[in-house]
Amino acid sequence: MSEKSWKQIRKSEMIPLVKPFMPPRDVLMPALENILYSGYIAEGEAVYQFEDTFRQYVDNPYCLAVNSGTAALHLAYLLENIKAGDEIISTPMTAEPTNTTIAVTGAKVVWGDVDPNNGLLDPKSVRNLITEKTKAIVLVHYAGMVCDMDEFNQLSKEYNIPVIEDAAHALGSKYRNKMTGLGNNNTIFSFQAIKHMTTVDGGILALTNGTDMERARKLRWFGLDKKKSRLENDITEAGYKYGMNNVNAAIGNVQMRYLDSIINTHISNGKYYDAELKDMSGIELPNYSNHTEPSYWLYTMKVERREDFIKMMESNGVTASTLHHRNDTHSVFKPSERELPNMETFYNSFVHIPCGWWVTEEDRERIAALIKKGW
């Protein structure tokens, strides 16, 4: 067998770090075909049904479906009237859209430092960065771990600064026994290909304020009010083409039936690693914030000699990776540059291992045993 085909086979046998879940063909396809040939594939009933089911799932008063988590983030910043000259305190430990959407508003990103143990934005660092220009704090519940919401809610109240929650990784995670983001006005979720739940692409902006919801609904569609005819419409604030369509929503409506079982498997695998890998030398497990329950989109830990760890895992058929690139090193964020010693510490040794719905009990036992053998 050639080296190339052997490598391909090995690759296909690898346990991946991320994997899109699709409902069984015989369940999904009829629902999808129904929409595709219905004569109405744009934003319509399937989208409104998806919004309603999701709203009940997270138990939030208003949920607006959009075509990506990025669109939801941009709308969240617009609702807070963020503009050039403003500052938003954010984290570099995230996927780029958290911060590129700030940049497109013209506002300046101010980097908070992270907790060196878990990589989540550190409220103590944020407190020191607040100025009269600070118009929002954006929190990323990275890899499904929830930020220290007790502290951030306190900061938000004390300085009267809104908190925007980027929960793209954190569907199904909890804060004080309720779904993360519940009760906060501006929380976003993503249904991009590799998230807990995918609609191929899509997102939700979850709000508690009805006036904001009406504004966001118009911004989602050029600034037009869908409840009125085109001729009756008068655009007062220019908007975007950010809506979800019925095809993505049809997938989402079927996905919602499987969501509990998907998320429960992520959580069960995550808790298994928490128990199996604790107190192991060469590894530091993350501390989870008070009153929070992660939904383990990825399992996160710090390891000594990371390159050797990744090599050992990969040679045993398990993908291990860092997945994300710290955002503050992009040229576009050069004006925001500052020293972030804890970010440095976390970034140099964190790694993710597979823990999603595709990881079987046998897989996770094998993964834990491999790690225990050392690298």
User: Of the two residues 115 and 166, which places its CB atom closer to ligand PLP in the complex?
Assistant: 166
Under rule CB under 6 A, residue 68 binds ligand PLP: yes
Please work out, in degrees rounded to the nearest 5, the angle formed at the alpha carbon of residue 284 by the alpha carbons of 278 and 285: 60
Q: How far is the CB of 94 from ligand PLP (least distance, A)?
A: 5
Under rule CB under 6 A, residue 187 binds ligand PLP: no
Under rule CB under 6 A, residue 98 binds ligand PLP: yes
**Among 123, 162, 172, 203, which residue interacts with ligand PLP (rule: CB under 6 A)?**
203
Q: How far is the CB of 8 from ligand PLP (least distance, A)?
A: 27
Under rule CB under 6 A, residue 66 binds ligand PLP: no
User: Of the two residues 9 and 193, which places its CB atom closer to ligand PLP in the complex?
Assistant: 193
Distance CA 309, CA 50 (A): 41
User: Of the two residues 272 and 288, which places its CB atom closer to ligand PLP in the complex?
Assistant: 288
Residues 77-96 that bind ligand PLP (CB under 6 A): 94-95
Q: Closest by alpha carbon to 102, among 144, 131, 134, 130? A: 134
Query: Segment contacting ligand PLP (CB under 6 A): 35-43, 65-73, 103-111, 346-354?
Result: 65-73
| Contact by Cβ (8 Å): 51, 65 | yes
Instruction: Report the DSSP beta bridge partners of residue 66.
Output: 203, 243
Structural tokens at position 17: 């770090």
Structural tokens at position 325: 């690139």
Alpha-carbon distances, residue 34 vs 27, 65, 137, 244, 246 (angstroms): 12, 20, 42, 17, 11
User: Of the two residues 199 and 246, which places its CB atom closer to ligand PLP in the complex?
Assistant: 199
Distance CA 37, CA 125 (A): 53
Query: Which residues contact ligand PLP by CB under 6 A?
Result: 68-70, 73, 94-95, 97-98, 140, 166, 168-169, 190, 192, 203
